[in-house]
């Protein structure tokens, strides 16, 4: 197959995963594009670790886990996963239903780990199932105070986010709709089983406001799940989710035609796999111009350099991700982590550079590590998911190389790796 | 509708005696925001003295007269806040009472998002200072800096020239000791000058590298060298950044420990001592570095606390809180309504001043920009600037 095909496969793996390995490039570079798409969208191994070296229980250990355990466990799962699109989409939905650690409001580690397990269950499945599960989720409910919403005093936070951020999008509903939706979402409260055991979110129909509500012009005795169904049945909902998916995978200012096609593919069963196939097969996704539209997120950056090097230092990886602006389980608001150019401030760029230099050092200090082995630039570049480099990066690598001919090879290896991984090319998704 | 439209917006009902120096007209201006996380108790900070009715509602928690320094207007400043006393006497402390959101938000996260976004219509996608940075043009690589793990919502905007750092000392390349460091920096400077189409993502990446390189050397020169006889604190760092010539207009520091549901006397005393140290250290270093008169400190918190105490010797989440502004450009005085215990709302001080009125004042009078463009509407300003 052609270099162009290999470049397309590399692009797909950067966007739908954390970058292709050289092995994956060789394999899918010699096969039809659809094979690569299917391998990602329909992985035969769901979320199994890649190697025995990285094969440890991940995702924290239930109620006793600390926040740091949970955060590092999540990063470890991303680094080790053999189903990278499952991880990409899990992070995508965790950002969509953004929930931040706030133990004072009962958004504790156990609740966040439960939420993550729920998201994982539906991550490539039905978005409708995920949306229904999320309104019963303790972490999200407590984060948005729905556990304290009562018939007498309905709290509008969850209702508002459900309409604005989670399901419909701004401009598609009225303030009155928010108020009525808040009434429909009443009935939940926390039950403490025993001291020091995390509480459970319980729905009690006697606490639910069972009067008629008028939402988006429909009058009925909406229950919480009834109102979720009503919102999911809106055209605006499919449009909203499609826009977010296309923006995430293709780039900002998404093509309305592609958004429309993706939105149609979500009807009627909200099949996420189907929508992702539409995106990955689209001309817009495959085009050359789409390849310079998105920067790597901190997660993509850190995981994208840890995976090829098979590094296990999740403490450092997590810290650099946080400094670069993406603290797992702690999005800055319900709107999620910053995206696009907002991720590229001087502090974030320093964190990215320091991550590159740190993991390059770890790699050189551990010569037993398997990849990438050779000094040849091409093999390195490809190990990190790139099939070509810009003139600027090539020039920087050559200048570095010329200036360090007298340095020991370990120094130069770490240096070249650092330069490559802090290049504009690697910073692009 | 803004509360100000129906209730008295502000009443400047007490002011200290003195007037102080003026600010040079065109000097760069700096704003340090100190966010007291958890909900600061305004009545443990600046409170009426000799108020038996108040002490009856908070018999264990409340400040006695001996706990306060008289301000000469029936109010007193918590004795731990020696810096507030000094600024009050100099006519450089404004106390704005009963500031809050228009809705009752007893959740830390929701109230914090409203305070930090400063515009409920914007719905948390950006912060009030982030939008200020977007709307205006600065002169350097680091227009705003927040100390902490990540950029607070307050500073989020579409441009990325805000910096979050844990300290100046730690804003450093971690490979300064490698033998090939110079060659590595040459490579990075190539990335900073990489040609890129205007408005493209590659341009933003190059810009990030430029800003990083521009900020790094001045900050690494500051490092952790002793200043005013002490290892620099974050408050010192804020003053040092303002003086570093990087065009830094905004600083942001968060202090934790104000969520005093129990044992409030001790807990609040220790939290407020951190605030006092922050104010003292910031201004002493700002003074030494020649930026004191161009600097204003704004102290905010996501909400106040219940006026009556709970059974654990603490207070629960309340409604309105007090905002404090300090610095030589400030017109010292008390603003907002006088405390009236007959006007409580479910045991809380009701909001009388929309927090956006405070922001509008700072944006208009100090940052010299049109507040309506940043806040989404016009809010009455409060005359706490000279």
Residues B112 and B214 in one domain: no
Residues A190 and A59 in one domain: yes
Share of chain B above pLDDT 70, in %: 91
Residue B9 has pLDDT above 50, yes or no: no
pLDDT band of residue B120 (cuts 50, 70, 90) is: low
Residues of A in contact with B173 (CB under 8 A): 350, 353-354, 357
Tokens 């007498």 appear where? A152
Answer with the one of A232, A264, A281 that is the final residue of a domain: A232
Residue B84 has pLDDT above 80, yes or no: yes
Answer with the one of A213, A232, A251 that is the final residue of a domain: A232
- Nearest by CB to residue A346, choosing from B179, B202, B212, is B212
For B213, nearest residue in chain A (alpha carbons): A346
Which candidate, A248, A183, A176, places its Cα nearest to that of A221?
A183
Residues A407 and A300 in one domain: yes
- Domain annotation covers residue B187: yes
Residues A219 and A307 in one domain: no
Which candidate, B361, B348, B381, places its Cα nearest to that of B103?
B348
Residues B130 and B194 in one domain: no
Share of chain A above pLDDT 90, in %: 79
| Lowest mean pLDDT, pick from A50-54, B240-244, B305-309, B344-348 | A50-54
- Nearest by CB to residue B149, choosing from A102, A327, A419, is A327
Domain tally, chain A: 2
Instruction: Report the pLDDT value the prediction gives residue B14, as an integer from 0 to 100.
Output: 65
Residues B253 and B336 in one domain: yes
pLDDT band of residue A197 (cuts 50, 70, 90) is: confident
Answer with the one of A185, A205, A232 that is the final residue of a domain: A232
CB contact under 8 A, A349 and B208: yes
Instruction: Report the pLDDT value the prediction gives residue A191, as an integer from 0 to 100.
Output: 96
For strands B93-100 and B353-354, give the pairing: parallel
Tokens 């020991």 appear where? A408
- Domain annotation covers residue A286: no
Residues B112 and B25 in one domain: yes
How many whole angstroms separate alpha carbon A128 and alpha carbon B161? 39
Question: What are A220's strand-pairing partners?
Answer: A213
Residues A214 and A362 in one domain: no
Question: What are B227's strand-pairing partners?
Answer: B230
Instruction: Report the pLDDT value the prediction gives residue A373, as an integer from 0 to 100.
Output: 47
Domain tally, chain B: 2
Residues B240 and B276 in one domain: yes
- Domain annotation covers residue B15: yes
Instruction: Report the pLDDT value the prediction gives residue B289, as an integer from 0 to 100.
Output: 96
Instruction: Report the pLDDT value the prediction gives residue A376, as an integer from 0 to 100.
Output: 64
pLDDT band of residue B239 (cuts 50, 70, 90) is: very high
Tokens 């050779």 appear where? A374
Residues B69 and B132 in one domain: yes
Residues A312 and A212 in one domain: no
Residue B37 has pLDDT above 90, yes or no: yes
pLDDT band of residue B140 (cuts 50, 70, 90) is: confident
Closest approach of A86 to chain B, Cα-based (Å): 26
Instruction: Report the pLDDT value the prediction gives residue A57, as an integer from 0 to 100.
Output: 41
**Prior bond of A372 cis (ω within 30°):** yes
Tokens 């006793």 appear where? A64
| Lowest mean pLDDT, pick from B16-25, B197-206, B263-272 | B16-25
- Domain annotation covers residue A46: no
Closest approach of B226 to chain A, Cα-based (Å): 24
CB contact under 8 A, B208 and A170: no
- Domain annotation covers residue B380: no
In degrees, to the nearest 5, what angle opens at C-alpha A392 toward C-alphas A390 and A394?
Answer: 70
- Domain annotation covers residue B386: no
Residue A294 has pLDDT above 90, yes or no: yes
Closest approach of A48 to chain B, Cα-based (Å): 31
Residues of A in contact with B101 (CB under 8 A): none
Residue B227 has pLDDT above 90, yes or no: yes
Residues B241 and B98 in one domain: yes
Closest approach of B108 to chain A, Cα-based (Å): 8
CB-defined contacts A:B, below 8 A: 172
**Prior bond of A268 cis (ω within 30°):** yes
Residues of A in contact with B208 (CB under 8 A): 344-346, 348-349
Answer with the one of B222, B250, B285 that is the final residue of a domain: B222
- Domain annotation covers residue B385: no
How many whole angstroms separate alpha carbon B279 and alpha carbon B297? 8
- Domain annotation covers residue B381: no
CB contact under 8 A, A397 and B259: no
- Nearest by CB to residue A345, choosing from B117, B153, B160, is B160
What's the DSSP call for residue B174? T
Residues of B in contact with A338 (CB under 8 A): 151, 156
| Lowest mean pLDDT, pick from A52-56, A138-142, A209-213, B105-109 | A52-56
Residues B365 and B304 in one domain: yes
The terminus-to-terminus CA distance of chain A in angstroms comes to: 23
Instruction: Report the pLDDT value the prediction gives residue A297, as an integer from 0 to 100.
Output: 97
Instruction: Report the pLDDT value the prediction gives residue B165, as an integer from 0 to 100.
Output: 85
Residues of B in contact with A356 (CB under 8 A): none
Instruction: Report the pLDDT value the prediction gives residue B370, as an integer from 0 to 100.
Output: 95
Residues B113 and B242 in one domain: yes
Residue B284 has pLDDT above 60, yes or no: yes
The terminus-to-terminus CA distance of chain B in angstroms comes to: 28
Instruction: Report the pLDDT value the prediction gives residue B12, as an integer from 0 to 100.
Output: 60
Residues B167 and B188 in one domain: no
Tokens 């704005």 appear where? B96
- Domain annotation covers residue B66: yes
How many whole angstroms separate alpha carbon B341 and alpha carbon A171? 42
Residues B108 and B252 in one domain: yes
Residues B14 and B163 in one domain: yes
Instruction: Report the pLDDT value the prediction gives residue B340, as an integer from 0 to 100.
Output: 92
Mean pLDDT calculated for residue range A409-414 = 90
To test the contact with chain B by mutation, choose from A321, A347, A421 the residue with the greatest count of B C-beta atoms within 10 A, namely A347
Domain range for B203: 173-222
Beta-carbon contacts of B23 under 8 Å, excluding residues fewer than 6 positions away, are B29, B293, B294, B328, B329, B386
For B161, nearest residue in chain A (alpha carbons): A345
Tell me the H-state helices in A168-297.
175-184, 224-232, 235-249, 256-266, 272-281, 283-286
Which candidate, B352, B364, B345, places its Cα nearest to that of B101?
B352
Phi, then psi, of B198 in degrees rounded to 5: -60, 135
Closest approach of B193 to chain A, Cα-based (Å): 9
pLDDT band of residue B13 (cuts 50, 70, 90) is: low
Residues A177 and A326 in one domain: no
- Nearest by CB to residue B215, choosing from A346, A392, A400, is A346
Mean pLDDT calculated for residue range B338-356 = 93
Mean pLDDT calculated for residue range B298-315 = 94
CB contact under 8 A, B113 and A334: yes
- Domain annotation covers residue B382: no
Instruction: Report the pLDDT value the prediction gives residue B123, as an integer from 0 to 100.
Output: 64
Domain range for A419: 294-427
- Domain annotation covers residue A383: yes
């Amino acid at each position: 197959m052609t270099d162009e095909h290999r470049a397309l496969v590399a692009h797909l793996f950067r966007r739908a995963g954390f970058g292709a390995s050289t092995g994956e490039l060789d394999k899918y570079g010699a096969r039809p594009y659809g094979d690569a798409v299917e391998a990602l969208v329909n992985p035969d191994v769901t979320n199994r670790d890649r190697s025995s070296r990285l094969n440890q229980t991940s995702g924290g250990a239930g109620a006793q886990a600390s926040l740091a355990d949970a955060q590092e466990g999540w990063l470890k799962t991303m680094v080790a996963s053999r189903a990278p699109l499952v991880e990409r989409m899990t992070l995508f939905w965790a950002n969509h239903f953004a929930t931040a650690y706030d133990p004072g409001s009962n958004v504790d580690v156990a609740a966040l780990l439960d939420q993550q397990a729920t998201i994982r269950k539906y991550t490539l499945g039905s978005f409708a199932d995920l949306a229904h599960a999320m309104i019963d989720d303790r972490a999200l409910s407590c984060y948005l105070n729905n556990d304290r919403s009562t018939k007498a005093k309905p709290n509008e936070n969850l209702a508002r986010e459900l309409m604005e951020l989670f399901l419909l999008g701004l401009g598609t509903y009225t303030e009155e709709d928010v108020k009525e939706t808040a009434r429909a979402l009443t009935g939940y409260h926390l039950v403490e089983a025993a001291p020091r055991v995390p509480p459970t979110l319980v729905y009690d129909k006697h606490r639910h406001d069972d009067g008629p509500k008028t939402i988006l012009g429909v009058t009925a005795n909406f229950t919480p799940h009834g109102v979720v169904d009503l919102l999911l049945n809106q055209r605006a909902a499919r449009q909203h989710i499609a826009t977010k998916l296309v923006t995430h995978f293709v780039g900002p200012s998404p093509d309305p035609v592609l958004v429309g096609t993706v939105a149609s593919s979500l009807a009627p069963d909200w099949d996420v796999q189907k929508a992702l196939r539409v995106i990955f097969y689209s001309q817009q996704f495959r085009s050359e111009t789409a390849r310079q539209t998105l920067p790597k997120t901190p997660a993509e950056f850190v995981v994208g350099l840890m995976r090829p090097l098979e590094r296990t230092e999740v403490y450092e990886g997590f810290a650099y991700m946080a400094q670069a602006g993406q603290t797992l389980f702690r999005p800055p608001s319900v709107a999620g982590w910053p995206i696009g150019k907002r991720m590229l401030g001087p502090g974030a760029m320093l964190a990215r550079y320091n991550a590159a230099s740190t993991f390059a050092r770890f790699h050189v200090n551990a010569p037993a590590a398997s990849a990438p082995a050779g000094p040849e630039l091409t093999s390195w570049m490809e190990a990190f998911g790139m099939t070509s480099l810009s003139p600027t990066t090539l020039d920087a690598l050559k200048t570095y190389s010329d200036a360090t001919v007298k340095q020991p090879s370990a120094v130069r290896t770490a240096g070249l790796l650092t330069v490559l991984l802090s290049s504009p090319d690697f910073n692009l998704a | 509708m803004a509360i100000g439209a129906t209730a008295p917006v502000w009443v400047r009902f007490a002011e200290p005696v003195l007037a102080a120096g003026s600010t040079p007209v065109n000097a760069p201006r700096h704003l340090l925001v100190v966010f007291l996380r958890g909900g600061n108790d305004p009545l443990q900070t600046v409170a009426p003295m000799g108020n038996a009715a108040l002490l009856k509602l908070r018999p264990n928690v409340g400040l006695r007269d001996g706990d306060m320094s008289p301000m000469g207007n029936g109010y007193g400043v918590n004795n731990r806040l020696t810096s507030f006393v000094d600024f009050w006497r100099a006519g450089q402390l404004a106390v704005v009472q009963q500031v809050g959101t228009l809705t009752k938000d007893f959740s830390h996260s929701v109230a914090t998002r409203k305070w930090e976004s400063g515009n409920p219509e914007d719905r948390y996608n950006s912060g009030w200072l982030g939008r200020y940075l977007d709307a205006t043009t600065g002169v350097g690589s680091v227009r705003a800096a927040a100390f902490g793990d990540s950029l607070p919502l307050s500073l989020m905007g579409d441009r990325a020239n805000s910096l979050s750092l844990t300290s100046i000392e730690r804003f450093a390349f971690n490979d300064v000791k490698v033998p090939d460091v110079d060659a590595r920096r040459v490579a990075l400077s190539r990335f900073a000058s990489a040609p890129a189409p205007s408005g493209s993502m590659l341009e933003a990446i190059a810009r990030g590298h430029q800003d990083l390189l521009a900020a790094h050397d001045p900050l690494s020169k500051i490092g952790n060298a002793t200043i005013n006889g002490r290892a620099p604190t974050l408050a010192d760092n804020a003053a040092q950044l303002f003086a570093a010539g990087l065009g830094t207009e905004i600083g942001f520091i968060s202090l934790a420990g104000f969520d005093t549901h129990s044992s409030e006397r001790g807990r609040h005393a220790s939290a407020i001592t951190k605030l006092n140290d922050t104010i003292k250290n910031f201004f002493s270093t700002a003074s030494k570095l020649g930026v004191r008169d161009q600097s204003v400190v704004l102290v905010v918190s996501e909400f106040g606390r219940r006026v009556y105490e709970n059974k654990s010797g603490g207070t629960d989440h309340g409604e309105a809180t007090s905002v404090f502004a300090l610095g030589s450009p400030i017109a010292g005085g008390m603003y907002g309504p006088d405390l009236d215990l007959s006007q409580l709302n479910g045991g809380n001080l009701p909001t009388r001043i929309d927090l956006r009125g405070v922001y509008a004042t700072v944006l208009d009078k100090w940052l010299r920009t049109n507040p309506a463009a940043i806040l989404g509407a016009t809010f009455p300003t409060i005359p706490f600037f000279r």
